Structure 1
Amino acid sequence: MRAIVWQPDGRLEEVADWPAPAPAEDEALVRVRAAGICSTDLHMVSGRLDFAKPPWVLGHEIAGSIERVGSRVVGWQAGDRVVVDPVIGCGSCRSCLSGRKYLCPDGGEIGTTTGSGGYGAYVAVKPGNLYRLPDALSYEEGAMMEPLNCTLGAIDRARNIAGARVAVFGGGPAGQLFAQLAHVYGAASVTLFDKREETLALGLRLGADEAVHLSLGGESQYGAGAVFDVVVEASGSVDAVRSCLERVAPGGTIVLYGLNGSDAPSIPSDRIVAKDLGVVTCISAPLLWDRGIRLVESGRVDVGAIVSDRVPFGAGAAFLNELTGRKRQVVKAMLIEEGADGT
């Protein structure tokens, strides 16, 4: 199959004859129609995150159509439009049975730690990893369901969003999702902090109540040094973690989401204890996929507007090399199959 392969020399290269996954009789073969480019993928290539070694087919944000199903697969058929949950679990350990398959000691994530990912033409998955993509949604919106699932899981754990003043540090894809989800969960106001005018403007269009430009010394309308009930770190920046600790009100909640790949401690535990803070994280929310799809289908959350760059798979390798070489900046890029319906 055709695949964009992360090579040992650090470059990404399109390979025409990469081995296609061979689905078992209890699996479906999914033709990838759209695959999101995640900062995790880029951090893996740069060496900041050590999840897999090249040669490797990256990509864990996946939507497509079923090409064929094994003889033991029921409820699915060729042609069905699907969203892929990339997290694999054994199905029988304590973590899997408690709804936390992302902690399975024998599990992994397609494209990140196991299997062949969405930068290839096909992925093989079990039916339990498939969700129906509504006809009203595009494949690229389907591929955005994975980052929505993770951010939704984090907001759902915070639990004290209703009526709260919420601050989000980082206006990238995760930050844009957090800002929207905070309003879905009843936040009184959402303030987005970032250093880029483009992402701040996007946040305001998607419903943030205010946008603060950190590079220009901007300040919240609530005053200098204003504090917030819930503060979300969505940038992966060590400095942003410190800002969260400064900006969160005593008794408030910090949502830690971004990965920075640094071994340097960034959380002074004494400040967490002294301010009596709640700290939540989320890397996956297996029980919330359907909820996320319904939020997008109903129009409560707009994932399509976050996608700034749509790149045909044939141009994907060159585009990815520009991203990893920091020769291009995007808000959210999506690899799409040329001519696929629904994109």
Structure 2
Amino acid sequence: MPTFVMPAPRKAPSGPAITVIGLRKSYGKKTVLDGIDLTIPTGTVFALLGPNGAGKTTTVEILSTLVGADGGQAQIAGHDLATDPDGVRSAIGVTGQFAALDDLLTAEENLLLMADLLRLPRAQGRARARELLQLFDIAEAAGKRAAAFSGGMRRRLDLAMTLVGDPQVIFLDEPTTGLDPRSRRTMWDTVRGLVARGTTVFLTTQYLEEADQLADRIAVLDGGRIVAEGSPDELKSRIPGSHVRLRFADPAGYARACAAFPRAGRDEENLALRIAGDAGLDALRAVIDRLDAAGVPAADFSVHTPDLDDVFLALTGTATTSRLATEETPR
């Protein structure tokens, strides 16, 4: 896996990188965004999650000046979205769901084309192209047409094109869709390197592990509204579901354990109990003490805590809200 070495850190501007107040968008009678508010600090990764059709891509399209909003206000890198769209465009880069490459051009030619579109001086554009080819480990393929690239190389080249203008804010709309695990992790390393030098990344993704790995803060969009926002750990802490799972070697031991934990969730087929709690050391000690008091040895146990999948399902209305109703809390 290549090691990415980013250029020197940029001087961080004062204030948030992105501020959004009351953003609204409808298509006909369908309300896509119903007054969302966001504040995204400079030099962080912000992830916007939500089910398909929730408005994630619409949010990116509005903030990147591709689509007009019906209402609300937004500032990106100090530029007002409504009154200074050119200033916004000069400060951002956008990588969409699909690589925006010219397959008839080589990797280097794609980068030089972007430099020309950004009106960089010729020498600066060539130097920037060489730098990015090295940075994304595609220098050896600089003379190959993009049509011959693998999925991972295409996404790396696509992101390299986004960086030609050295943007302060980058919008990544599902950037690792279709990539294999190795290519996905390479992209994660690239994003971390960008943020380390002060770039702000606005990420939409369907991969909850990706948001958990990268994001400093996450917002969940559902029904056109932000239904929750916080760090990954903060969001996971809001969702009940931490539990200890105990399995027993024989029906007799299982029966005694059921008597010791009368409100625990039961798995008769596997002779297992699910005992709700915070899964901390005190809770585990309480479970073990009660087993010892009942004289019941457990064949094995495991500790489970909510992850972002649980958060996503609960907040977007598809979780089973009664799943803990019959579970015992250790005392």
Please, what TM-score do these two structures have when normalized by structure 2? 0.25
Bigger helix fraction: 2
Whose Rg is larger? Answer: 2
Please, what TM-score do these two structures have when normalized by structure 1? 0.25
